[in-house]
Amino acid sequence: MPPAVGPAPHLGLPTRRNGVWYPMQLLLRVVFAVWLRYRARGVRRLSTPGGGLILSNHQSFLDPLLIGLPLDRPVSYLARDTLFRIPGLSWLLRHTYVMPINRENASTASLRETLRRLNEGFFVGVFPEGTRSSDGSVGTFKPGFAALVRRADVPIFPVGIAGANRALGRRHWWLRPCRVCVVFGEPLDAQEIAHVSARGREAELIELVRQRIIACQAEAEVWLQQR
């Protein structure tokens, strides 16, 4: 049976990292700075006091860590529910803000929990491609995330990641010493999103978000090439 999605009392405040994630983040900042020469820009654009939806391209299993690393606030992500059946790992996921989802049959419970966290002031991260890119480019977006964009009354932040596929891509089994850059873009215009959503133009909404993420990823890639 998939685990139930319910309240997460151990998460603490949405504007402060809990006692599990905080020391992990400090350690990862050192490791990634040395091993990946990690750099991020645009972090101040996420200075909103309330909740926010972070939408990013997906290159690697590292991506959730790369996005959350420079932030002083936690980010909640969705992960396949089978991971929550593994002893030890289940505890770690739940205490580092991760929410379970059944990939074969995404439930309304997952959507409700995501919206609940947004409404409570948490950042929530989503990868609209649904899977890691095979070559680092931004692929086709799954349509399911559009429903969340339409219903989430919070700022929406595009993010672009470059280099993570070289550090730990789909065909890699260990972390390689490759430079990684992350760009946090300006929030998407709420009026434009509302206008597109109101007219039911889902394909246009998806493409609007995709182009903003592509722009961030291209900026990150250019920065990556600079020495």
Query: How many alpha carbons lie under 13 Å from residue 71 in its C-beta half-sphere?
Result: 29
Domains and CATH numbers, the chain: 16-225 (3.40.1130.10)
* Mean pLDDT, rounded, for 93-119: 83
pLDDT for the residue numbered 173: 86
pLDDT at residue 5 is higher than 70 = no
Count of other CB atoms within 10 angstroms of residue 189 = 12
**Distances from the Cα of 227 to the Cα of 59, 119, 199, 223, angstroms:** 22, 41, 45, 8
Q: How far apart are the first and last CA of the chain?
A: 50
pLDDT at residue 6 is higher than 50 = no
Tell me the whole-structure pTM to 2 decimals: 0.91
pLDDT at residue 226 is higher than 70 = yes
pLDDT for the residue numbered 2: 40
Helix axes 202-225, 190-198, angle to 10 degrees: 150
Pairing mode of beta strands 98-101, 156-162:
unpaired
Dihedral angle sign, alpha carbons of residues 34, 60, 50, 100: negative
* pLDDT interval class at 197 (50, 70, 90): confident
pLDDT for the residue numbered 159: 98
C-alpha span between 102 and 88 (Å, rounded): 20
Pairing mode of beta strands 52-56, 156-162:
parallel
SS3 204: helix
SS3 68: helix
* Mean pLDDT, rounded, for 81-105: 85
Give the angle 93-177-66 at the CA atoms, nearest 5°.
Answer: 35
pLDDT for the residue numbered 227: 67
Which of 21-25, 33-37, 81-85, 188-192 is predicted least confidently? 188-192
pLDDT for the residue numbered 143: 83
* Mean pLDDT, rounded, for 147-152: 86
From the centroid of its chain, how far is CA 146? 15
pLDDT for the residue numbered 4: 41
DSSP state of 2: P
Which of 36-45, 53-62, 77-86 is predicted least confidently? 77-86
* Mean pLDDT, rounded, for 54-58: 97
State percent of the chain over pLDDT 90. 60
Helices (H), 79-184: 89-94, 108-119, 145-151, 164-168
Beta-ladder partners of 154:
none
